[in-house]
């Protein structure tokens, strides 16, 4: 009788184990956000060469980029050498439409992000993200081209600036220097 109960227990246990398979469990894929400029800085793509605080000139400064995947920008970030609130803007370069604006509060020298309503990003479309400031860092790579450069699913095409406090999309691209730092939190679609 005892052996019979043991055999039944092993048969029941075997059936339970064989009915479970890895295919029954849904694979959960976590999509990690990307921070293109932060990643480039951390990877040593350019070096800090100067710092400007309370420069006599205010600029709309930032970078032009394309994404390799559709996705969303869910936060805007800055790192400037002074405390304060700074206007950050995202444009569609082709239409020159402002897609989003946020005021991000800086803590002197630290990277600070502000969550925003998601901005849809389409693969292959050019965008520009800029900060309006007279406080900034200057980066370069000894005169060598820094841009274009890939950062995960983002292609950073170049740096651009426009004098003044107006919310104006900067024009000409510079590939050997970068003033800023402004960044996006990009979440690519799967």
Which residues, other chains included, contact 37 with Cβ-Cβ below 8 Å and sequence gap of 6+?
Answer: 63, 151, 156, 180, 181, 182, 183, 184
- The span from the CA of 45 to the CA of 29, in Å, is 29
For residue 73, count CB atoms less than 10 angstroms from its CB and return exposed for 0-12, middle for 13-18, buried for 19 or more.
buried
- The span from the CA of 140 to the CA of 178, in Å, is 6
Identify the pLDDT of residue 108.
79
Identify the pLDDT of residue 99.
98
Indicate the pairing of strand 177-180 with strand 84-92: unpaired
Identify the pLDDT of residue 18.
53
Identify the pLDDT of residue 180.
86
The CATH number assigned to the domain with range 36-188 reads 2.60.120.820
Identify the pLDDT of residue 6.
46
Domains of the chain, residue spans: 36-188
One-character DSSP codes across 153-165 = TEEEEEEEEEESS
pTM metric for this prediction:
0.84
For residue 173, count CB atoms less than 10 angstroms from its CB and return exposed for 0-12, middle for 13-18, buried for 19 or more.
middle
Give the pair of three-digit tokens for residue 140: 């370069």
Stated as kind and residue range, the H or E segment containing 106 is strand 97-106
The per-residue pLDDT string of the chain (190 residues; one tens digit each, 9 = 90 and over) reads 566 554 555 555 555 555 554 554 566 777 899 999 999 999 988 999 999 999 999 999 999 999 999 999 999 999 999 999 999 999 999 999 999 999 999 987 899 999 999 999 999 999 999 999 999 999 998 889 999 999 999 999 999 999 999 999 999 999 999 998 999 999 999 7
């Amino acid at each position: 009788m005892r052996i019979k109960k043991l055999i039944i227990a092993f048969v029941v246990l075997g059936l339970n184990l064989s009915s479970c398979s890895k295919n029954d469990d849904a694979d959960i894929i976590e999509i990690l956000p990307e921070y293109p400029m932060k990643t480039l800085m951390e990877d040593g793509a350019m070096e800090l060469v100067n710092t400007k605080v309370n420069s006599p000139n205010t600029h709309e400064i930032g970078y032009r980029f394309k994404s390799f995947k559709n996705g969303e920008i869910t936060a805007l970030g800055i790192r400037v050498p002074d405390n304060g609130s700074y206007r950050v803007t995202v444009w569609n370069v082709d239409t020159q439409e402002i897609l989003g604006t946020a005021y991000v509060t800086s803590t002197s020298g630290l990277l600070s992000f502000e969550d925003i309503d998601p901005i849809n990003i389409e693969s292959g479309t050019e965008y520009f993200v800029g900060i309006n400031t007279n406080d900034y860092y200057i980066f370069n790579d000894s005169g060598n081209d820094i841009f274009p450069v890939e950062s995960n699913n983002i292609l950073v095409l170049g740096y651009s600036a426009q004098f003044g406090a107006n919310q104006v999309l900067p024009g000409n691209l510079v590939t050997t220097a970068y003033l800023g730092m402004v960044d996006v939190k990009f979440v690519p679609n799967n």
